[in-house]
Chain A
Amino acid sequence: MTFIPSPPDTMQTMTAPARITLEDQVDGAPRLVLSGSFLVADVAALDHDLRAIEAASVIDISALDPVDTTGAWVVFRLSRDLGAPVEGASEGAQRLIAAVNSCDDHVAIVPPELPVQVRVPETVGASVVELALGTRELLGFLGGLVVAFGGVLVSPRRLRLTALVRQMELVGVNALFIIGMMSFLVGIVIAQQGSVQLQQFGAEIYTINLTGRLAFRELGVLMTAIMVAGRSGSAFAAQIGTMKLTEEVDAMRTIGLNPMEVLVLPRVIACVVMMTLLGFYAAVVAIIGGAVLAQLGLGIPFLTFMSRIKEVVPELDLWVGLLKGPVFGLIIGLAGCYQGMKVEGNSEDVGRRTTKAVVQGIFMVIVLDAFFAIFFSKIGWI
């Protein structure tokens, strides 16, 4: 009873190409004769011609071989649209036509889309609402984090020490090379550009002040924050987001584990601690970069550069950098974990949320940095 289409290697030699013929008849509409191979590949090419046929009295498919479901569907559609009965169908073709006639081709294959004049305001409105709700939710998330942190303070045994150390390694230790590299080069650039300008006043010795203060106050911690947001903020969002998709987060909840405590807290603490340390490390490496440039380009000996740093960089600058580090770390960790926990639906959402985590993290870090700059100058830490 089975209808086996002949394999294509024999097909090329044995079967005729698809052909459409309209045989005029004495009375009434012409007779439509379909013949040859009517497989999906043939139909794709013929579909346009077939749709152009306006009337037929009968569809003769006695010479149609081989045929597959797509071919059968086209025959069925023609017969239905033209109101013409099908004649001469082989047993296999009959079976296929019977199989496809349950299909309704007027079903939409994508969800309906609104017209553009409605869609644009709707999208804008939805984004505004989402922004407002998102800010509230982020605050709520921060609150949840504080509660979890409080819980850990009350009973320190609930802190996931292994996870914390692991995250510290991923966020901090593994980033040492790339952040060192970046800071070293930035230090060289600052010293070089600064010295070119200062030389005009014969004040290239101030390159040391410029490099030292800039590295400790701003550059070390800011560049590190951007790198950590790109490396770790994105990783947090993608990891937690994937865990949401595979229902691991739900599984944790049912076992009685609090995802806030198990997933978010170790990551955020690691981010806060390591951002502080990495910011300081980056500042030091940037100064070394500046010193190397000064030795090679300006003739200031390396050790002189270093001892001058001690004299010209006030201790306050160190504290400014060390204060900003943990705040930036908190923001990056929070944005990454929050966006990860918000993932739902599909893999596309993981990508979207990861992007958001990085953009949100870096943007908020820069906004806060501007705020810090004004704040510190107002309280006289300049």
Chain B
Amino acid sequence: MNQSAAAHPAPCDEDVAIRIEGLVNRFGDHTVHDGLSLCMRQGEILGVVGGSGTGKSVLMRSIIGLQKPAEGTVEVLGEMMGEPAPDGDDIRRRWGVLFQGGALFSTLTVAENVAVPLREFYPRMSEDLLAEIGCLKVALSGLPEDAAAKYPSELSGGMKKRAGLARALALDPQLLFLDEPTAGLDPIAAAGFDRLIKELHETLGLSVFLITHDLDTLHEICDRVAVLADKKVIAVGTIPELMKSDHPWIQDYFAGPRGRAALASREIKTDAAPARPAAGNPIDSHPGGEA
């Protein structure tokens, strides 16, 4: 407990996926981040929470290089962002990003969307293999197989998110960025999405950087949670650790009515229900049911 809720996150040890130091982001006079530091380990699911306007999405954008920070350094998978990679190895091969609305290319079918990063990075890949991988990722992300040939405008919101996830997984990334993946989904679809991410995490060994407002998601799948407030990451830790913090926003967030409800439902589930099906053969157990 003592290290978790402390203002200074634990020192970055060896298996670091993302290391942010002294990040400053400004829009005109408005400072969004002021000396933000964060460390994410490889193989963990890190949830990022914070009130509206605290710059969660801006944080993600500055990690993946879409927003140039005013100050500070960002290191992703051992490479400094903003500097040319030493051996021409493109860091973008090793991550996948799911934007809030899916951000699918609207003139391409879902499977073609998946093929876009593959074509970009592996121009010699045969059309047969591209089609196969397209269908594979569509199936992995839990979409029905006939969705592969559909255009984004023909998909529902939940299916768009899954299709966006399929594209994010196209290059078999080590690191996955998810921006509010369950926002706007019904509870059943949201739970399905949570399970899917958890399973992909376990099966593929992904590290996941997860921005969310969904308390159930936080309780269900996150290893650690980082709290954004006062232009900084004020605490990083597991939820029980965070709940011991006396920061008012953290208290409101986790111990408020919704936070308690999410916690209670989690406790009921772990007490009463039999242990969730362990590992085994997780992914084909729900071929696209909840979309």
Count of chain B residues with Cβ under 8 Å from any Cβ of A?
53
A43 to B122, CA, bound (A): 10
A39 to B174, CA, bound (A): 12
Residues of B within 8 A of A74 (CB): 129
Q: How far is the CB of B67 from chain A (nearest CB, A)?
A: 23
Point out the residue from B107, B145, B204 that lies within 8 Å of A348, measured CB to CB: B107
Does any Cβ of B come within 8 Å of A7's Cβ?
Answer: yes
Q: Mark A104-120, 1 if CB is under 8 A from B, else 0.
A: 11011111000000000
Residues of B within 8 A of A70 (CB): 133, 136, 172
- Please determine whether B129 and A43 come into contact, CB atoms closer than 8 angstroms: yes
A69 to B112, CA, bound (A): 18
Does any Cβ of B come within 8 Å of A103's Cβ?
Answer: yes
Contacts A45-B124, A77-B132; is A107 near B149 (CB within 8 Å)? yes
Looking across the interface, which residue of chain A has its beta carbon closest to that of B78? A9
Q: Mark B135-166, 1 if CB is under 8 A from A, else 0.
A: 11111100001101101110000000000000
- Please determine whether A99 and B140 come into contact, CB atoms closer than 8 angstroms: yes
Does any Cβ of A come within 8 Å of B48's Cβ?
Answer: no
B residues 38-60 in Cβ contact with A at 8 Å? 42-43
Contacts A3-B205, A68-B204, A103-B139; is A109 near B124 (CB within 8 Å)? no
- Please determine whether A347 and B140 come into contact, CB atoms closer than 8 angstroms: no
Does any Cβ of B come within 8 Å of A142's Cβ?
Answer: no
Q: Which of B27-35, B185-193, B261-269, B281-289 contacts A (4 or more CB under 8 A)?
A: B281-289
- Please determine whether A103 and B152 come into contact, CB atoms closer than 8 angstroms: no
Residues of B within 8 A of A110 (CB): 109, 111-112, 149
- Please determine whether A69 and B106 come into contact, CB atoms closer than 8 angstroms: no
Does any Cβ of A come within 8 Å of B232's Cβ?
Answer: no
Looking across the interface, which residue of chain A has its beta carbon closest to that of B137? A69
Interface magnitude class on chain A:
35 or more
Does any Cβ of B come within 8 Å of A40's Cβ?
Answer: yes
Point out the residue from B139, B205, B279 that lies within 8 Å of A104, measured CB to CB: B139
Does any Cβ of B come within 8 Å of A73's Cβ?
Answer: yes
Does any Cβ of B come within 8 Å of A380's Cβ?
Answer: no
Residues of A within 8 A of B171 (CB): 40
Does any Cβ of B come within 8 Å of A303's Cβ?
Answer: no
Looking across the interface, which residue of chain B has its beta carbon closest to that of A43? B129
A5 to B43, CA, bound (A): 10
A residues 320-334 in Cβ contact with B at 8 Å? none
Does any Cβ of A come within 8 Å of B2's Cβ?
Answer: no
- Please determine whether A40 and B284 come into contact, CB atoms closer than 8 angstroms: no
A70 to B171, CA, bound (A): 9
- Please determine whether B42 and A103 come into contact, CB atoms closer than 8 angstroms: no
Q: Mark A249-262, 1 if CB is under 8 A from B, else 0.
A: 00000000000000
- Please determine whether B135 and A345 come into contact, CB atoms closer than 8 angstroms: no
Looking across the interface, which residue of chain A has its beta carbon closest to that of B280? A98
- Please determine whether B284 and A4 come into contact, CB atoms closer than 8 angstroms: no
Contacts A2-B202, A102-B139, A107-B146; is A7 near B111 (CB within 8 Å)? no
A73 to B128, CA, bound (A): 13
- Please determine whether B148 and A108 come into contact, CB atoms closer than 8 angstroms: yes
Does any Cβ of B come within 8 Å of A8's Cβ?
Answer: yes
A83 to B219, CA, bound (A): 44
Does any Cβ of B come within 8 Å of A154's Cβ?
Answer: no
Does any Cβ of A come within 8 Å of B181's Cβ?
Answer: no
Residues of B within 8 A of A345 (CB): 106, 151, 153
A8 to B135, CA, bound (A): 26
Does any Cβ of B come within 8 Å of A48's Cβ?
Answer: yes
Does any Cβ of A come within 8 Å of B1's Cβ?
Answer: no
Q: How far is the CB of B21 from chain A (nearest CB, A)?
A: 20
Residues of A within 8 A of B242 (CB): none
Q: How far is the CB of B194 from chain A (nearest CB, A)?
A: 17
Does any Cβ of B come within 8 Å of A96's Cβ?
Answer: yes
Residues of B within 8 A of A4 (CB): 42-43, 205
Does any Cβ of A come within 8 Å of B228's Cβ?
Answer: no
A3 to B205, CA, bound (A): 5
Q: How far is the CB of A107 from chain B (nearest CB, A)?
A: 5
Q: Name 16 interchain pairs, CB-CB below 8 A, sorted by A.
A: A3-B203, A9-B78, A40-B118, A44-B129, A47-B128, A70-B172, A95-B203, A99-B204, A100-B136, A103-B136, A105-B131, A105-B136, A107-B135, A109-B148, A110-B112, A346-B152
Instruction: Kindly list 12 other residue pairs between chains A and B, CB separation below 8 angstroms, not including A1-B279, A4-B205, A95-B203.
Output: A2-B201, A3-B205, A7-B78, A40-B171, A44-B129, A96-B204, A100-B139, A101-B284, A102-B139, A109-B135, A111-B109, A346-B151
